[in-house]
Amino acid sequence: MCATLPPPCAFGTMHEAVTRAVDSLELSSGLLHKIDHNPLLRGLLVVKNRISFALTALLLIALSLPSFIFAQSAQTPDRKANDTSRFPPNVAPRAARRVARDPAKTDATAGIEHDFAEALTLVQENYVDGNNIDYNTVFKSSIIGMLRSLDPHSNYYDSKEFDEMRTEQRSEYFGIGASISDRRIGNKPDDKSDTYIMSTFENSPAARAGLRYGDRIVAVDGQSMRGKPSGEVRDKLRGPRGVSVKITVERASNNQPETVEITRDAVPRPSVPDAYMIRPGVGYIDMTQSFAYSTSDELQAALNKLQAGGMTSLVLDLRNNPGGFLDQSIKVASKFLQPGQLVLTQKGRNRGSDRPYQARTENGVTPDATTPLVILINQFTASASEIVAGAVQDHDRGLIVGEASFGKGLVQSIIPLEYNAGLTLTSAKYYTPSGRLIQRDYSNVGLYDYTYRGGLGRQAEEDARAAQTAPSTGAESRTDGGHVVYSGGGISPDDAVRSRVPSITQLRLLNVMFGFVRELVNGRISGFDSYKVQRAIEFNHNLQATNFPVTDALYKAFKDYVATRTSVKVTPAQLDRNRDYIQRQLRHEVITAAYGTVTAQRVLVADDPQTLKAIEVLPRARDLAMNATRGRTSSPGQTHLNLFKTGDLAPL
């Protein structure tokens, strides 16, 4: 089973999911009254009805194929080495119409296939551009339109998309092993963005080839990448394992072109990229990626490391985690709960299909049910990560800090189809231990509004953020200790703290800050030779406050640099008002160049308001864990009177 949410646009590619949701077969209501008086419209309505019927049949045929549970099996469908198809071959409908029925097929199946081919023939004969129809697009958009009428999370994937989805669920991909990003550092208003190397990964092909922070990607296999978005460049860099790719870069160190040949290899994508002591005795674990095959094992390794280092309390960061495998979420929750405690209940369409999942001991490792625990969540914490947060909250095992989570309480079965395509079809709902269904309402709302909570504009963003810290209003439930929690709208935090979101002015500074640091680390900012980073990344560095601090002198040098960039429309007063942000981001960029993206993330976490709040409430989390252990024999509500009715808590 897969309990996952596509990554959000602000942190990934959720926007791609929105653009896939095209229902091209709906007739507008304004045409309906004309149908009876127009033979052509009547013919088109017949086409629509036939196609709708055929699409229903396609789904039934798809469901007759065996679904597989990713969390319990690493097997994937066989894929031919030279298969590049994304959908069934684009066969002309007339030819399909003449194909004799296969006697081995049922009459219903053969009839549906015949009717579908006939419907497409009518489209070809009557549609104004019938000779130029892309049948792959017709098939795909039709199926997606049908699935979208069910719920926002059932989806169809062509072969490329299905392969990408499965890659997201693995802990590795095949490529060169570098993070890239779009940046525009030219000084002319019409200069285009280019793609730059931001960092390489440890032991990756890109690291071995000597790629560095700030190298501009000029061409891939002889094809120019100038002005291309980083997503398009990424697709060119990824490919089959063992196949080489020639990359022409403009070196940041000397601005000279150089071509390197790199053999693609497996690149790890850890779901627990970092774990360290954020304060003496306080461990911090970064689980902001996803729940993949190896998440439970990676988390256990991180816990072992921190416990060996003297950890006495823990902050677990699930912000922006889109979810993943259901089985992995159960294993993760089991590390903090007593064996036998309920993690979730899965309920399908049929009576008798309800299935409870309890915490269990894995590989003989005793769960840690007493270490003070605070979990960080935000509006992009979804699905499998919500299962963990909900189980911890309902059993009063730890405190939840941040913003209300996304609110995805649906579980999808992953169904492989022919031609390496696939379906994710909602097959169950899950309920937290207290009986909450956290699924956000998706009735009478489009996919865009559901995904982005009303839009991406500044006012819509502010409204969404306000809703994230507002009390829930769904059906009431109670935790083990009597704390009131609510269904619908995701997991509400015990302590609501807004996330730190950059302003428009701050976002406009990203390009110029990158350009400045690119000059700085290559020794082209006079007087700051100690900031030169002309070496390979020093991975696994234990970051110290003395590493590349942004001093008053360096901040002034940045302001002087901005003054020379006529394309940057920002005043010195605006810079000063945003000095904290600028200094944080400048240091983040330098640390990225010196120690890599994982270590650089620590710069942003260090003074993050939600993280600071999590550290602040750890004493309460300690009392909560102790009371939860003792409170199994207490009356409901008795153990929480002093923990949840304090003046500094937002209403729940």
Residue 9 belongs to some domain of the structure:
no
pLDDT at 489: 87
pLDDT at 650: 27
Using the 3D structure, point to which of 93, 115, 148 is the last residue of a domain. Answer: 148
> Mean pLDDT over residues 516-524, rounded?
97
pLDDT class of 349 with cuts at 50, 70, 90: confident
For residue 50, pLDDT over 80 is answered with no
For residue 577, pLDDT over 60 is answered with yes
> Mean pLDDT over residues 282-309, rounded?
96
Q: How far is CA 421 from CA 77, 78, 81, 197, in A?
A: 10, 12, 15, 32
> Mean pLDDT over residues 101-123, rounded?
73
pLDDT class of 186 with cuts at 50, 70, 90: confident
Residue 133 belongs to some domain of the structure:
yes
In 273-412, alpha helices (H): 295-308, 326-334, 384-394
pLDDT at 467: 54
For residue 253, pLDDT over 60 is answered with yes
Name the residue with higher pLDDT: 391 or 140. Answer: 391
Same domain, residue pair 295 and 389: yes
> Mean pLDDT over residues 532-559, rounded?
96
For residue 54, pLDDT over 70 is answered with no
For residue 466, pLDDT over 70 is answered with no
Please state, in angstroms and rounded to a whole number, the distance separating the CA atoms of residues 99 and 562: 68
Same domain, residue pair 395 and 533: no
Name the residue with higher pLDDT: 644 or 411. Answer: 411
Same domain, residue pair 496 and 400: yes
- Given the residues 313, 334, 383, 434, select the one marked as catalytic: 383
Which residue bears the tokens 């409870």? 356
Same domain, residue pair 127 and 43: yes
Same domain, residue pair 289 and 347: yes
Q: Which one, of 511, 433, 495, 414, lies nearest residue 161 by Cα?
A: 414
Q: Which one, of 286, 269, 282, 199, lies nearest residue 605 by Cα?
A: 286
H or E element: which one contains 16?
Answer: helix 14-20
Name the residue with higher pLDDT: 590 or 63. Answer: 590
Please state, in angstroms and rounded to a whole number, the distance separating the CA atoms of residues 404 and 381: 8
pLDDT class of 136 with cuts at 50, 70, 90: confident
- Given the residues 67, 408, 434, 487, select the one marked as catalytic: 408
Name the residue with higher pLDDT: 118 or 335. Answer: 335
For residue 196, pLDDT over 80 is answered with yes
Q: Using one digit for the tens of pLDDT, what is the confidence trace for 369-388?
A: 899 999 999 999 999 999 99
- Given the residues 158, 194, 274, 394, select the one marked as catalytic: 394
Same domain, residue pair 63 and 51: yes
Residue 338 belongs to some domain of the structure:
yes
For residue 455, pLDDT over 90 is answered with no
Q: What is the CATH number of the domain that holds 367?
A: 3.90.226.10
Same domain, residue pair 383 and 453: yes
pLDDT at 132: 82
Residue 167 belongs to some domain of the structure:
no
pLDDT at 468: 52
Same domain, residue pair 414 and 435: yes
pLDDT at 639: 37
pLDDT class of 113 with cuts at 50, 70, 90: confident
- φ/ψ of 567, rounded to 5, equals -80, -10
Q: How far is CA 231 from CA 100, 180, 238, 247, 470, in A?
A: 44, 9, 11, 16, 36
H or E element: which one contains 114?
Answer: helix 107-126
Using the 3D structure, point to which of 244, 268, 292 is the last residue of a domain. Answer: 268
pLDDT class of 4 with cuts at 50, 70, 90: low
Q: What one-character DSSP code corresponds to residue 106?
A: -
pLDDT class of 631 with cuts at 50, 70, 90: low
Same domain, residue pair 367 and 514: no
For residue 488, pLDDT over 60 is answered with yes
Name the residue with higher pLDDT: 351 or 336. Answer: 336
Please state, in angstroms and rounded to a whole number, the distance separating the CA atoms of residues 505 and 456: 17
Per-residue exposure over 278-310, b if at least 16 CB sit within 10 Å of its own CB, e if not: beeebbbbbbbbbbbbbbbbbbbebbeebeeee
DSSP, collapsed to helix, strand or coil, labels residue 587 as helix
Question: Cα angle vertex 214, ends 223, 593, to 5°?
Answer: 140
Using the 3D structure, point to which of 233, 268, 303 is the last residue of a domain. Answer: 268
For residue 91, pLDDT over 50 is answered with no
Q: How far is CA 328 from CA 73, 298, 333, 536, in A?
A: 12, 11, 9, 35
Give the structural domain span for 203.
172-268
For residue 41, pLDDT over 50 is answered with no
For the chain, how many structural domains are there in total?
Answer: 4
Same domain, residue pair 618 and 631: yes
For residue 51, pLDDT over 90 is answered with no
- Percentage of residues in the chain having pLDDT higher than 90: 58
Contacts of 230 (CB under 8 A, 6+ apart): 180, 181, 182, 195
Q: Is 408 a catalytic residue?
A: yes
Same domain, residue pair 420 and 486: yes
> Mean pLDDT over residues 493-505, rounded?
94
Residue 80 belongs to some domain of the structure:
yes
Please state, in angstroms and rounded to a whole number, the distance separating the CA atoms of residues 620 and 616: 9
H or E element: which one contains 614?
Answer: helix 609-616
The beta strand positions in 207-341, using DSSP E, are 216-220, 223-224, 244-250, 257-263, 265-268, 274-279, 282-286, 313-317, 323-325
For residue 399, pLDDT over 70 is answered with yes
For residue 10, pLDDT over 60 is answered with no
Choice among 37-41, 214-218, 259-263 with the minimum mean pLDDT: 37-41
Q: Is 102 a catalytic residue?
A: no
Mean pLDDT over all residues of the chain? 81
Q: Is 394 a catalytic residue?
A: yes
- Tell me if the pTM is above 0.85: no
pLDDT at 233: 96
- Three-state secondary structure along 127-192? CCCHHHCCHHHHHHHHHHHHHHCCCCCCEEECHHHHHHHHHHHCCEEEECCEEEEEECCCCCCCCC
Same domain, residue pair 190 and 338: no
> Mean pLDDT over residues 79-103, rounded?
42
Please state, in angstroms and rounded to a whole number, the distance separating the CA atoms of residues 190 and 581: 27
